[in-house]
Structure 1
Amino acid sequence: MIVDSLVVGALQVNCYLLGCEETQEAVIIDPGDQPDDVLHLLAKHGWQLTQIINTHAHFDHILGVAAVKAATGAPFYLHQAELPLVADMRQRVMLWLGYDPGEPPTVDGFLAPGAAVHWGKQSLEMRWTPGHSPGSITFVDHTGRRAFVGDALFAGSIGRTDLPYGNHQQLLTAIRQQIFTLPDDYAVLPGHGPATTVGREKRTNPFFDDDADEL
């Protein structure tokens, strides 16, 4: 699997493009804005986009979805519990960024944690990591020993839970059960900010100080 990325939008979202070298097929995670830049990156690699998959549906992670869909024909998938956030996108953008982005993207199907996303000869395991949002998903690339965690976990921090549908305790539990159970050397690729590792966050993340004796 070849992984490329770019930072998009006013809230600086990490958008990840994952390609299969053998088949030249790709999926994209969280095209949050700047669809022209996303499409340019796709064209640079010469990949065919087969799916748009999102860790969650806060507006900063889905603003570019509609344009990428229109240009590539790729279907858009996320967890069904994220539908209220998709529906709320337009209002939230007007509130936060002060402009009308138009209608939210159409969701073509739903991701089921415990299953896998497949394209070309590649796959990602899906783990449900709610708390930042109700249907947040972590995508795990076991071959590459990395996890795309969205806004569940950051280097030295966790996702905010004061937004609608957030749940602080649920998020802590999900991280412990679904991310910290991965091997320590797995890279953690978050929705914002720098990469880290599972082991580093288990040892040093201040939100898990109570776990220190157990880790």
Structure 2
Amino acid sequence: MQYQIIPVTPFQQNCTVFWCDETKHAAVVDPGGDVEQVIAFIDSKGLTLEKVLLTHAHIDHAGATKALSTHYGVKVEGPQKEDQFWIDMIPMQKERFGFSHAEAFDTDRWLEQGDKVNFGNIELEVYFCPGHTPGHVVFFHRESKLAQVGDVLFKGSIGRTDFPKGDHATLIHSIRKNLFPLGDDVRFIPGHGPMSTFGEERRSNPFVGDGAH
């Protein structure tokens, strides 16, 4: 599996294109905006987009979902159903944050803990990790030990929990019980900023590391 991170929107959100080496079939995770950049990359690589995947429905992660899925005629999978209210709020968020191409959308498949998503010959495992939003999910490619964690965990930090239906204790539980057991050597792509590993965050993250209370 190959991947390319494309920072999008004024929030520099890490939209990621994953693709299968063998089939050139791809999935886009969290197309928050700047859809023209995402389309240009997909087309320049000669990829066939199979689906759009969402970790959660905040506008900087999901704002261009409808535009991208409509452009390629593909389905949307994710997040978990508790994020429906965030999808409904995208038009209001669009006005507040000045996003030009953000629309509400219908997801074709809500995701739950233990689900799998596929494109080409690639399979991603789904982990339900609420706390930042109530319907947040994480995608994990076991073969390459790579996770896309959205806004659950960052290098040196964790996701905000002061949004509607956010919960700090739930977020900490999600990280420690669902993510860290996947292994210290797992690399992760956060929703914003640089990549890290679960091991590094266990050692040094002041919010959720082994030394944090």
- The residue aligned with 2:200 is 200
Letter in 2 for 1:212: G
Instruction: Give the number of equivalent residue pairs.
Output: 212
Alpha-carbon deviation of 1:100? Answer: 6.6
Superposed CA deviations along residues 148-168 of structure 1, whole A, max 9, x for unmatched, are 100000000000000011000
Q: Report if the CA contact (8 A) 2:90-2:102 is conserved.
A: no
1:131 maps to a residue whose letter is G
Equivalent-residue separation in structure 1 for 2:173 and 2:13 (angstroms): 24
Superimposed CA distance per residue, residues 132-189 of structure 1 (whole angstroms, 9 cap, x where no aligned partner): 0011111111111111100000000000000011000000000000111111111011
State whether residues 149 and 190 of structure 1, in contact with CA within 8 Å, keep that contact through their aligned partners in structure 2.
yes
Deviations 1:46-94 (A, max 9, x none): 1111110100000111111111112101111211111110001111221
SS at match of 1:206: coil
Specify the alignment match of 2:2 in structure 1. Answer: 2
TM-score, length-normalised on structure 2? 0.95
Residue 208 (structure 2) pairs with residue 212 (structure 1): no
**Structure 1: segments with no counterpart, 5+ residues:** none
- Partner Cα distance (1:103, 1:55) in 2: 17
Structure 2 distance, partners of 1:103, 1:120, is: 28
Q: Report the CA distance shift for 1:37/1:183 in structure 2 as closer, same or farther (over 3 A).
A: same
TM-score (norm 1): 0.94
Match in the other structure for 2:52 = 52
**Displaced runs of 4 or more, over 2 A:** 98-103, 211-214
- Output the CA distance in 2 between the equivalents of 1:91 and 1:205: 34
Change (3 A) 1:49 1:101: closer
> Counterpart of 1:119 in structure 2: which amino acid?
F
Cα distance in 2 for residues equivalent to 1:204 and 1:184:
12
Contact 2:50–2:74, Cα closer than 8 Å, also in 1? yes
